[in-house]
Amino acid sequence: MRRQRSYCLLALSAAVLVVNTLQEVAAKDLRHVTEPKIPPACESLKGSGSDETAVIQKALNSCGKGKTVHLASGTFISGPLTIPSGVGLWIDNEVVLKATSNAKLFDNGKNLCGTVSTQYNGCNPLITMKNVDGSGIYGKGTIDGQGGVKLTAKTESWWDLAHEAQVKNQYQNNPTLVDIESSREIILYQVKIINAPNYHVIVGNTNGFTAWGVTINTPPSARNTDGIDPGGSQNITINECSITTGDDNIAIKAHFAPTRHISVTNCHFGPGHGMSIGSDIDQGVSDLTVENLVQQNSLNGLQIKSDRSRGGLVTNVVYSNVCMRNVTNPIVLNTQYSKTATGNHIPEYKGIVFKDIEVKTAGKFTFDGFSDAKPIEATLNNVIIAKGSTWVTEHAKINGKYVVGSGNKKC
């Protein structure tokens, strides 16, 4: 009898182990991702400091698959560029690709780009990769959006327009820097993306995206300048990133399709609105691992935000080995991001694991589930928070406990 029982227990714990292991494996990019290599150049260009949109675009269009247009030296000014399938743009060390300050060159036909209006989406992005496979941007050079520079024949910069829009409760029509849509296996490697007029990188409806060694740096005062926004996308790796900006450092959305199998590893976040999921998540976000993250001087740390107009299921999310300092809201799980929202897309967050988290300075922790029927379900495993912190839970089932004190993480 006794023997039988211990066999049973053994089998049970083996089964639990298998289930746990499977879950851990699944909460990531399913691809085996290694450090990218810069493909060989098809053509090398020298920047003259004047508008070179046509020259770069011509080189991209005639470059063979598996090759890169090499911006080898100098400064290039450019309007919208489109990277063809299989082709890369290699921005070499110390080279700067500046977005033109002439808003007209970004206009997408509605005569809105560079204006504040009740309408939005008036600009083409600086760099578009759409319906392409195996394209990318490589090299240690810089893409400078020139967000703070006065626009040609205007008295305001892109950032001024964004502030004006906030005051008027309208929209600024500013270009995104890198827009990836409906594509496969896209790479951003090493590049620095700075001073964005609007979002830095959007990854929409794309299967296979790797950002490796990418730096994003825009002042925290610049509005709506999200760092990297994957949405409706799968198999995503963001590794060794450094992101400082005026809005979400990363914002994972799911409005047109589910977003799943994401790994955010070995990153450093400065000022920004956090490692975020939301707000549009009605198609569901799942299988995300955030591992080895440092967050400093930011408004939010680990954030999930949505409301009943655009909520959905967020599940199988693991935050592991995160160190935070001077973060106002180190953990904020919010299901009523807009208090006035209406609709039946109820946000539901479950299977959210916080493991080996240390927050060095006092902050506010919020677990605000939608209702007793749809509570937040989270697990805490070795979560250390600073003395003086506020901990607020409502409609939340939390397994495990936090500890007030200080641990041995460095950040």
Ligand X SMILES: *[C@@H]1O[C@H](CO)[C@@H](O)[C@H](O)[C@H]1NC(C)=O
Residues labelled catalytic: 273
101, 174, 195, 234: residue in contact with ligand X (rule CB under 6 A) = 234
Tokens 């989406």: give the residue: 121
Q: Please give the size of the binding site for ligand X, defined by CB under 6 A.
A: 11
Beta strands in 157-258 (DSSP E): 171-172, 178-181, 184-189, 192-194, 201-204, 207-212, 215-217, 228-231, 234-239, 242-244, 250-252
CB of 188 to ligand X, least distance (A): 18
235 sits near ligand X (criterion: CB under 6 A): yes
170, 266, 297, 393: residue in contact with ligand X (rule CB under 6 A) = 297
Residues 143-172 that bind ligand X (CB under 6 A): none
Closer residue to ligand X (CB): 148 or 220: 220
CB of 147 to ligand X, least distance (A): 19
Report in angstroms the alpha-carbon separations of 44 from 51, 73, 96, 100: 17, 9, 14, 21
Indicate the SS3 state at residue 158: helix
Report in angstroms the alpha-carbon separations of 159 from 76, 155, 225: 22, 12, 10
303 sits near ligand X (criterion: CB under 6 A): no
Residues 254-273 that bind ligand X (CB under 6 A): 261, 271
How far apart, in whole angstroms, are the C-alpha atoms of residue 392 and residue 359?
Answer: 16
CB of 242 to ligand X, least distance (A): 16
Do 340 and 305 contact (CB within 8 A), yes or no? no
Closer residue to ligand X (CB): 30 or 396: 30
395 sits near ligand X (criterion: CB under 6 A): no
DSSP 79-102: S-EEPPTT-EEEE-TT-EEEEPS-
217 sits near ligand X (criterion: CB under 6 A): no
Site track for ligand X across 23-62, x = CB under 6 A: -------xx-------------------------------
Closer residue to ligand X (CB): 125 or 271: 271
Nearest of 263, 321, 256 to residue 292 by alpha carbon:
321
Closer residue to ligand X (CB): 30 or 398: 30
The DSSP bridge partners found for residue 368 are: 334, 394
Residues 307-336 that bind ligand X (CB under 6 A): 326
Interface contacts to ligand X, rule CB under 6 A: 30-31, 207-208, 234-235, 261, 271, 297-298, 326
